Amino acid sequence: MNEIDKTIIEAQKSSYQEENIVTLDWQEHIRRRPGMYIGKLGDGSSSDDGIYVLLKEVLDNSIDEHMMGFGKTIDVKIEGEKVLVRDYGRGVPLGKVKDVASKMNTGAKYDSKAFKKSVGLNGVGIKAVNALSSNFLIESYREKKAKNVTFEKGMTISESDLETSIETNGTLVEFIPDKSIFGEFQYREEHIEPLLKNYVFLNTGLTISFNDKKFFSKNGLEDLLNENLTDEVLYPIIHIHGADIEVAITHTNQYGEEYYSFVNGQHTTQGGTHLTAFREAAARVIREFYNRNFEFSDIRSGMVAAISIKVEEPVFESQTKTKLGSREIGPNGVTINKFIGDFLKKELDNYFHKNPQIAEALQKKILESEKERKAIAGVTKLARERAKKANLHNKKLRDCRIHYNDNKGDNLDETSIFITEGDSASGSITKSRNPNLQAVFSLRGKPLNCFGLTKKVVYENEEFNLLQAALNIEDGMDGLRYNKVIIATDADTDGMHIRLLLLTFFLQFFPDLVKKNHVFILQTPLFRVRNKKKTIYCYNDDERIAAIKELGPNPEITRFKGLGEISPDEFVHFIGKDIRLDKVTMRKEDLLKDLLEFYMGKNTMERQNFIIDNLVVLDEEA
């Protein structure tokens, strides 16, 4: 039988009849295709996991009420898996309480008089929360009356009559994400608090109470930058306002650029048309102010900025609203480019004229960036050519087929590159990996300690040059080829040292890679405990002891000394769906400059004394 005959037979088996056409109820469609509505699911360990999108969808409605001038306080309580959000806005019209939570494309956001510049647009968000929750309650308080409706997985369970109420006007929503959809999950304050802080930064005068902790901002985006800065500013933050626009700008000595962009209070983590317009306009206005033909890259080097705009009926590129696609600011036909450009041309230019000391400090920074760029110009071209040529036959890089900057596909967030040391370790990972989504970069020995060096070293050092080229981050994060950059080293002193040297490289020259949550540490098991029936991999002593108890007397115990000792057949368990990763984070309170100087600087005696002092303490406790 030839291939054509086989194809015909298979086609006949796959019948396409009337009974194959299925119409799903709204809640069933959401439950079958949650990714269309909330992005990825996750267990709560990542800030973009679905359970936080559910919280955000409910909060967005409350924020919209505040933006329209109703309600100065929002209460948020999370106890275990249960979430409560109570606002003090106008309250959902009592006759529509059930509809707003259970009828698709139902809401007031279509009426521009009620919500002119809102976050919620299509009447979908709260329905998605309802459908993906095992329990969902919505209750509205309005003009001394109240009404509530309860649901399970989007299906109505009960609906109250109108009742007399002494509650202040507003809306209460309670929900529990459905474990049959999300699996075991946990809300983490480390991901919730930044979300709530952003809301108050963008809505001065709003107080959000979270489990009795209060968040409030007086200075808006200026407070936001101060909250997120990890290096000293070179001049005081420039904070300027206009109708439907707010901007905060400063510079630090860090490499790269750092931006926080918002539309109608929504954190557009992937930027969009407004951020593109801002980067272009800010650099152009600064260049024109000095009347010097500065390179835009020199102007923006070290820039840390935030921009928030309000748009009527914004168009986002997905339901999760992380990237703006709108070209116009509203129905008047004014483009976002012109709106932002005109604002900066007037307000930023005026600011520099009124504050010559700040203008002088900025010019000094630009000139320093220009000087460094020219200093490395001689090695850059040669280094690029060398990296490009090496990448064609690069034995260091075992690349994958799908990349983060492909801008298509549903699993781009899963693209990753493992940076490991030695042929045996990289060989094991290479044989175990998913070649579609996981790449491997092999180091040769220990990388250079680059602390205190200029970016010229990135091009002169073959290891760093090839790593930069593999990641494709020379010109910024837009070209990043992998969502997760995973440092995979042995769990011994040499492995820890290599890890620290790599982190120094990223923090020194590409801090955005860390700030935008792309850098991770791979956890690998220290022990294998097994008998004839079962094998358990243990990542610490507590797990080893528990495994011995579970398997009974005399199990075989193996201590892995390095990644190279783990066979490819075993490695597949540690870099697949059960992969354990520690995210590398950077916060203002980490005092990055001091931290790197202590651990990676030339203060050998200070570090030696620290080790001796702490060894004494440990000995005393023993």
pLDDT in tens, 380-430: 666 666 655 555 455 688 999 999 887 666 677 889 999 998 777 888 899
pLDDT grade for 576, boundaries at 50, 70 and 90: confident
Highest mean pLDDT among 121-135, 459-473, 581-595: 459-473
What is the reported pLDDT for 390? 56
d(CA 383, CA 309): 41
Kindly report which listed range (127-131, 261-265, 377-381) carries the lowest average pLDDT score: 377-381
What is the rounded average pLDDT of the residues 474-488?
Answer: 89
- Tokens linked to 221: 């985006």
Helices then strands, each counted (H, E), the chain: 22, 23
pLDDT at residue 118 is higher than 60 = no
d(CA 120, CA 93): 17
What pLDDT, in 10s, does the model give residues 284-295? Answer: 999 999 999 999
pLDDT at residue 533 is higher than 60 = yes
Task: Name the one residue in this structure whose structure tokens are 């308080």.
Answer: 141
First to last CA, the chain: 77
pLDDT grade for 589, boundaries at 50, 70 and 90: low
Answer yes or no: are the C-beta atoms of 575 and 438 closer than 8 Å: yes
pLDDT grade for 32, boundaries at 50, 70 and 90: confident
What is the rounded average pLDDT of the residues 521-527?
Answer: 90
Q: Are strands 303-309 and 258-263 parallel, antiparallel or unpaired?
A: parallel
d(CA 204, CA 206): 6
Q: What Å distances lie between residue 22 and 28, 29, 571, CA to CA?
A: 11, 11, 42
The stretches of 155-272 forming alpha helices (DSSP H) are 179-182, 189-202, 221-228
Three-state DSSP class for residue 314: coil
Three-state DSSP class for residue 365: helix
What is the rounded average pLDDT of the residues 565-570?
Answer: 84
Q: pTM for the full model?
A: 0.80
Q: What Å distances lie between residue 323 and 266, 276, 403, 525, CA to CA?
A: 10, 11, 19, 38
Kindly report which listed range (363-372, 426-435, 584-593) carries the lowest average pLDDT score: 584-593
What pLDDT, in 10s, does the model give residues 238-272? Answer: 999 998 899 999 999 988 889 999 988 888 888 88
pLDDT at residue 111 is higher than 60 = no
What pLDDT, in 10s, does the model give residues 600-622? Answer: 878 778 878 887 877 754 444 44
pLDDT at residue 488 is higher than 70 = yes
What is the reported pLDDT for 619? 44
What is the reported pLDDT for 598? 79
The single-letter DSSP state of residue 161 is P
Residue 284 one-letter amino acid: R
What is the reported pLDDT for 10? 60
pLDDT grade for 20, boundaries at 50, 70 and 90: low
Task: Name the one residue in this structure whose structure tokens are 């040059």.
Answer: 465
Task: Name the one residue in this structure whose structure tokens are 């020219």.
Answer: 374
pLDDT at residue 199 is higher than 80 = yes
- Reported as half-sphere exposure (CB side, CA atoms, 13 A), residue 443 has a value of 22
Average pLDDT, the chain: 85
What pLDDT, in 10s, does the model give residues 339-376? Answer: 999 999 999 999 999 999 999 999 999 999 999 888 87
Percent of the chain's residues with pLDDT above 90: 43
The stretches of 268-334 forming alpha helices (DSSP H) are 273-290, 296-300
d(CA 364, CA 325): 36
DSSP for 90-123?
Answer: S---GGGHHHHHHSTT-SGGG-TTT-SS-S--SS
